[in-house]
Structure 1
Amino acid sequence: MTESRYRQLVRASGIYDVLATAAFATPWTYPLLFQLFNRLAPMPAFEPTHALFVNLLGSVVLVWSALRIWRPDPVFGLFDAYARALFFCWQMYYLLVHHVTPVVWAFAAIELLLGVLQAVGYWRLVGRSTAPAAEKRAPAVLPDPA
């Protein structure tokens, strides 16, 4: 995979995250999304504290997504792959142990797909480098302060 293609993947994953999580980010949009999910599969009642954590997570994901859309550095794709691996693990835990709403399966599948694509793409991109082994590390995100 070329660096240009990989950057497109990082940007596309950021765009997906904006589309998938924007409604989670505010106290005004989340209840509408909750109603939609409840029509697809029964959802447990949410207290305001639960909704607060949904809104906080949605807000953080939106900011992280905006960064990857604005500046799709390869290292951001690698860290996004790590985050998706964590999200996938927690989603599978709750699906298999606590039998949460089946709606989570769709999110888990996309997390797994984008996480694998970004991780493998990054490792291939770095592995293709012609630099000596000591220099095969994540591309610099910020200029060296020296």
Structure 2
Amino acid sequence: MHLKTYLRIVRASAWYDLIVTIGFATPWSFALVHQSLSQLNSGLGIAGEFPAFAAAHVLMANLLGSIVTIWAILRLRDTRMEYGRYDAAGRVLFSMWQLYAVAHGASQIILAFTVFEIAFGILQLLPISHKDNKR
């Protein structure tokens, strides 16, 4: 893969992260995201649940949303091959924890996110042509 193509993938993964996780960044926006996912889950009759969150759970969701939002903005402002490699490692971890959560009763809606984690993770681990690698 050419470096230019690779950097487009890194930017696309950053946009995906920004769109999907910014709602987790504050207690108020997370309440709306959680409510929407819960309604979608029950409306579609999907296995698993989105249980009510206590304050400590909301804090963890907000920390996730905050750091992933900042990480996404960094990759959009300064897109680098190295960031794509680190992001791929994070996506491997996120995928494992999402699969673990679903295996232990979390909503199967999470698997839709897992597909993107795995896809972007694989794409960002692909080899890059060194002949055009200037960054």
TM-score by length of 2: 0.89
> What's the counterpart of residue 79 of structure 1?
86
Measured on the aligned residues, the alpha-carbon RMSD in Å equals 1.6
TM-score by length of 1: 0.82
Give identity over the alignment, percent.
Answer: 37
For residues 139 and 80 of structure 1, the distance between their equivalents in structure 2, rounded to whole angstroms, comes to 20
For residues 81 and 43 of structure 1, the distance between their equivalents in structure 2, rounded to whole angstroms, comes to 27
- Structure 1 residue 55 and structure 2 residue 52: aligned? no
> What's the counterpart of residue 13 of structure 2?
13
Query: Aligned to 2:109, which of 93, 97, 103?
Result: 103
Render the CA deviation track for 1:70-95: whole Å, top value 9, x for unaligned.
Answer: 11100100000000000001111111
Render the CA deviation track for 1:28-53: whole Å, top value 9, x for unaligned.
Answer: 10000111011122421110110011
Quick one: which amino acid aligns to residue 74 of structure 1? M
For residues 84 and 139 of structure 1, the distance between their equivalents in structure 2, rounded to whole angstroms, comes to 25
For residues 139 and 114 of structure 1, the distance between their equivalents in structure 2, rounded to whole angstroms, comes to 22
Quick one: which amino acid aligns to residue 31 of structure 2? P
Provide the aligned length of Structure 1 versus Structure 2: 127
Query: Aligned to 1:119, which of 112, 115, 125?
Result: 125
> What's the counterpart of residue 99 of structure 2?
92
Report the secondary structure of 2:52's partner residue.
Answer: coil
Unmatched runs of 5 consecutive residues or more in structure 2: 42-48
8 A Cα contact 1:74 1:139, kept in partner: no
- Structure 1 residue 129 and structure 2 residue 116: aligned? no
Question: Which structure 1 residue ranges, 4+ long, deviate > 3 Å from structure 2?
Answer: none
For residues 112 and 4 of structure 1, the distance between their equivalents in structure 2, rounded to whole angstroms, comes to 21
Quick one: which amino acid aligns to residue 3 of structure 1? L
For residues 102 and 38 of structure 2, the distance between their equivalents in structure 1, rounded to whole angstroms, comes to 16
For residues 134 and 96 of structure 2, the distance between their equivalents in structure 1, rounded to whole angstroms, comes to 27
For residues 106 and 19 of structure 1, the distance between their equivalents in structure 2, rounded to whole angstroms, comes to 15
How far 1:139 moved relative to its partner?
7.7
